[in-house]
Amino acid sequence: MFGLNLRAGDVILAVNGVDIDIITTEMLKYISYPNQEKALAVLAHRFHILRQHDRNTRMELTILRDDEVLTVDVRVRSNSFMSIRPQTTIAYELLENNIGLINPSHLLDGQLFDIMDYFANTDGLILDLRERPSHNFPSAIHLDSWFMEEPELFFRMTFPAQSTPSVFLDILRGYAGGRTLERAFHYTNNVVVLMNELTFSMPETTVMALRNAPNVTILGSNSIGGNGDILSLPLPGGISMIFSSLGVLTAEGGQTHRIGLSPDILVERTIAGIRDGRDELLEAAINFLINN
């Protein structure tokens, strides 16, 4: 059946007649990913499967939709044409049941102070860290000013010793919490932080800081495990390789690279939820706050 549109929730079985398992196995030879569990998540996030060299060509997809195998003929593009999660451009929103929602990916400079004042009397907060926060997003330490009255160690960082290759020095400690901001107040109601495989780098550091607060619960699935800075290494042929040069450890010295962070409450998306356009992690967070 040709002429059908690709829909959210469709399961791709083959591309141009080639089984999807063969395609993903070949692609993963050339893509860095933290571990096998997150390999397909990296492919989905980068949209590699639905790309071709010529964006004006068409791609034949064999899909599974509602237990029916169909053939879909789609025009490819260099960027994505489907979202892998519900998108929003709202920095904050007051939900039903007097619950505040903050999306750091759309915060403006200095906006967090007014938002927290606005949410001061809410019955709970949700902080969505499934997208990379904007560059104006305050550091994790500043954010914890509202949730932790006393500073607490939340990460250790190792640096490469320039005089001795392969040796890393454990020389940095990170603390979060305490009244570091004059306008901050102590928010005592429950806070839920949303996290999944799209949570990487700075959001992972933020999760590490926030989870020390007594009223914060991390909900979702494991983060990607790609924290630390980014360095670029130019290679012959115009190729550039990026990698993390700093080691990010838990306060106890535990590994985070390639492992990621684990949530307090595991909630994963379902094909049915994706098909219906539901945000199942947000729904679970709301239910948690209502019942706690």
The secondary structure of 164-177 as a DSSP string is: STT-EEEEEEEEE-
Tell how strand 124-128 and strand 265-266 pair up: unpaired
Q: Which residue has the tokens 């949700």?
A: 126
Name which CATH class applies to 11-75. mainly beta
Cα distance between residue 122 and residue 83, in whole Å: 31
Tell how strand 124-128 and strand 99-102 pair up: parallel
Cα distance between residue 105 and residue 131, in whole Å: 6
Residues of the chain with CATH 2.30.42.10: 11-75
Beta bridge partners of 5: none
Query: Which residues, 6 or more positions from 53, have their beta carbon under 8 angstroms from its beta carbon?
Result: none
pTM for this prediction: 0.87
Residues of the chain with CATH 3.90.226.10: 92-291
Per-residue pLDDT of the chain (292 residues; tens, 9 = 90+): 344 578 888 999 999 999 999 999 998 888 878 878 888 888 877 667 777 766 667 888 999 998 899 998 887 755 544 444 555 668 899 999 999 999 887 777 678 888 999 999 999 999 999 887 665 555 544 778 899 888 899 999 999 888 898 888 988 898 888 766 777 888 999 999 999 988 888 889 889 999 999 999 999 999 988 888 888 889 998 888 888 888 899 999 999 988 899 999 999 999 999 899 899 999 999 999 999 9
Contact (CB, 8 A) for 120 and 135 = no
Cα distance between residue 7 and residue 272, in whole Å: 12
Predicted pLDDT of residue 181: 72
Quickly name the fold that domain 92-291 has. Answer: 2-enoyl-CoA Hydratase; Chain A, domain 1 (3.90.226)
